[in-house]
C-alpha cells in the first residue's frame, strides 16, 4: 500500500513538491509560534515569589530647594490606619520600565544581576518569603560589608550547591579581607518584570536615604478607593514646597508589562492563522483538482472491489505522506535550534514545540483531505468509466 502511494506521489512529483513546500513553511511558522507559546507558558506557571495585591507605588518629585525630610514622610505614612507597611526603594520598582544591572563576582565566577535597593520592610510590602537566612536590617549596614539578599538563581550561579549565607562577594585578594557585599538571605524567585519573566539573577541591597528617596512602595490593609488616593497625594505634596506626587497601582503596572509580552504573541498567532488558512485553501484546491482528474482511476478501483473506506484511506494516505516529506525537511531545520542552543531556550521547550507543530500539521492535513476523500469515495464506477 505504501509503495503504491509513493509511486503515485512520484508520478506527479512537481505538483506534490509545491504542496510539500507549503507544508514545510507552515511547519516552520507553527514551530516558531509553539516555541514562543511553550516558553512563555512555562515561565507563567512558575511562582512569582511576590504578592502585589493592594500595593501602590508613590513617585515623589522633590523641589531641589526643599530636600525631603524622610522622617517627616515616614511619620506621615505611619499615621494612616489604611497603610499596613511601606518601604523606600530604587527607581527600578517592580513592573516599571526601569532596570538597574550590576556585575558580581565570587571565586572567579562573574555574572550580571538586577540590583534593587530596598528597606527592611520590603518583604512585608511585597509579600516575599525567604527560603534561607533573613532579610537585612538597618544595623547590618554599619559594618564594612553591605548586606544583600539574593535570588535562588543568583545563588546557583555564584555558589552552586554551597551555602550562600555569610559569603562575601567581590574579588578576593591574598592577605586582604574582601570589602564586597555579604549575603544574609536567599529568596526563591522574584518576578518583577512580568508574569512571563524567566528566572533571573536578582540582588537586594539596603536603600540609601540619600539616593533612594523618590519611590515608595505602600502596602494597604484593604482595597482603597480614589478618595484615599487623592487624600494621600495631597498630604504628601503638602509636606514640601513645589513637590509633585504620582501614585500608581502595582497590579495595573503589571498588566501593562504583561501586554508587552502577549500582544506580539497574539499578532504572531493572527499571522500564523492567516498562513494556515491559506495552506488549507491550497490543499482543498489541489485535492479537489486531483480527484477530478483521477475519476477514471478511482472508478476502476471501485469496479475492482475497492470499498469507500479504502478510497478514503488512499487519498488521506497520499496527502499524509506528502506532509511527512515536508515535515522531515522542517524538522531538519528545527532540530538545529536545540543543538546549537540558540536563543538560550531549553531543549525541552524546542522538543515540545516540535511535537505540537507536527500534530497541528497532521491535523490540518487530515482535516483538509477528509471531505475531498469522502467525495472521491462516493464516485460510482459506471458513471466514472462512462465519462472516461
- 17-39 per-position pLDDT tens digit: 778 888 899 999 999 999 999 99
pLDDT per residue over 255-295, tens digit each? 999 999 999 889 989 999 898 888 888 888 777 777 766 66
Q: Could you tell me the CA-to-CA distances from 332 to 17, 21, 209, 343, 345 in Å, in that order? A: 17, 14, 57, 18, 18
The closest of 130, 115, 132, 138 to 50, measured between CA atoms, is: 130
pLDDT per residue over 167-187, tens digit each? 988 755 444 445 688 999 999
Please tell me the predicted confidence (pLDDT) of residue 19. Answer: 81
pTM for the complete prediction? 0.82
**Could you give the CA distance from residue 367 to residue 361 in angstroms, rounded to a whole number?**
10
* Phi, psi torsion values for 163, nearest 5 degrees: -75, 125
- Asked if 204 and 81 count as a contact pair (C-beta separation under 8 A), the reply is no
Please tell me the predicted confidence (pLDDT) of residue 61. Answer: 84
- Asked if 250 and 94 count as a contact pair (C-beta separation under 8 A), the reply is yes
- Asked if 36 and 265 count as a contact pair (C-beta separation under 8 A), the reply is yes
**Could you give the CA distance from residue 379 to residue 175 in angstroms, rounded to a whole number?**
93
Please tell me the predicted confidence (pLDDT) of residue 11. Answer: 55
Q: Which segments in the chain show pLDDT lower than 50?
A: 173-177, 384, 387
Place of cell 499578532: 267
**Could you give the CA distance from residue 303 to residue 374 in angstroms, rounded to a whole number?**
17
Please tell me the predicted confidence (pLDDT) of residue 280. Answer: 85
3-state class (DSSP) for residue 178: coil
Segment (H or E) for 353: helix 347-377
Q: How many other β-carbons are positioned within 10 Å of the β-carbon of residue 37?
A: 18
Please tell me the predicted confidence (pLDDT) of residue 193. Answer: 92
CA 261-29-337 angle, 5° bins: 80
**Could you give the CA distance from residue 341 to residue 29 in angstroms, rounded to a whole number?**
19
- Asked if 224 and 72 count as a contact pair (C-beta separation under 8 A), the reply is no
**Could you give the CA distance from residue 89 to residue 218 in angstroms, rounded to a whole number?**
11
DSSP-assigned beta bridge partners for residue 83: 220
- Which residues, other chains included, contact 130 with Cβ-Cβ below 8 Å and sequence gap of 6+? 123, 149, 185, 186, 187
Amino acid at each position: 500500500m505504501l509503495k503504491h502511494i509513493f509511486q503515485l506521489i512520484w508520478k506527479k512529483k512537481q505538483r506534490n513538491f509545491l504542496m510539500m513546500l507549503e507544508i514545510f513553511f507552515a511547519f516552520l511558522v507553527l514551530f516558531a509560534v509553539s516555541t514562543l507559546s511553550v516558553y512563555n507558558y512555562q515561565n507563567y506557571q512558575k511562582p512569582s515569589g511576590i504578592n502585589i495585591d493592594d500595593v501602590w507605588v508613590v513617585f515623589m518629585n522633590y523641589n531641589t530647594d526643599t530636600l525631603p525630610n524622610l522622617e517627616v514622610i515616614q511619620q506621615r505614612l505611619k499615621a494612616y490606619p489604611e497603610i499596613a507597611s511601606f518601604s523606600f526603594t530604587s527607581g527600578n520598582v517592580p513592573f516599571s520600565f526601569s532596570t538597574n544591572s550590576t556585575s558580581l563576582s565570587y571565586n572567579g565566577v562573574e555574572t550580571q544581576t538586577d540590583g534593587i535597593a530596598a528597606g527592611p520592610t520590603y518583604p512585608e510590602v511585597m509579600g516575599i518569603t525567604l527560603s534561607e537566612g533573613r532579610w537585612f536590617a538597618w544595623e547590618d549596614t554599619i559594618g564594612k560589608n553591605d548586606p544583600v539578599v539574593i535570588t535562588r538563581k543568583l545563588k546557583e550561579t555564584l555558589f552552586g550547591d554551597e551555602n550562600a549565607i555569610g559569603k562575601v562577594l567581590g574579588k578576593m585578594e591574598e592577605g586582604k579581607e574582601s570589602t564586597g557585599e555579604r549575603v544574609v538571605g536567599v529568596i526563591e524567585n522574584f518576578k518583577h518584570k512580568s508574569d512571563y519573566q524567566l528566572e533571573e539573577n536578582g540582588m537586594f541591597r539596603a536603600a540609601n536615604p540619600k539616593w533612594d528617596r523618590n519611590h515608595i512602595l505602600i502596602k494597604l490593609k484593604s482595597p482603597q478607593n480614589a478618595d484615599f488616593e487623592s487624600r494621600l497625594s495631597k498630604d504628601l505634596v503638602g509636606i514640601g514646597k513645589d513637590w509633585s506626587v504620582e501614585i500608581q497601582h502595582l497590579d495595573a503596572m503589571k498588566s501593562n508589562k504583561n501586554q508587552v509580552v502577549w500582544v506580539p504573541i497574539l499578532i504572531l498567532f493572527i499571522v500564523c492563522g492567516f498562513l494556515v488558512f491559506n495552506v488549507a485553501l491550497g490543499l482543498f484546491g489541489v485535492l479537489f483538482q486531483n480527484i477530478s482528474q483521477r475519476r477514471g482511476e478511482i472508478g476502476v478501483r471501485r469496479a475492482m472491489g475497492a470499498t469507500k473506506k479504502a478510497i478514503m484511506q488512499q487519498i488521506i494516505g497520499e496527502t499524509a505522506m506528502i506532509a511527512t516529506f515536508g515535515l522531515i525537511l522542517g524538522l531538519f531545520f528545527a532540530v538545529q535550534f536545540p543543538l546549537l542552543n540558540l536563543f538560550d531556550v531549553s531543549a525541552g521547550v524546542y522538543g515540545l514545540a516540535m511535537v505540537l507543530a507536527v500534530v497541528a500539521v497532521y491535523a490540518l492535513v487530515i482535516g483538509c483531505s477528509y471531505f475531498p476523500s469522502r467525495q472521491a469515495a462516493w464516485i460510482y464506477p459506471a458513471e466514472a468509466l462512462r465519462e472516461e
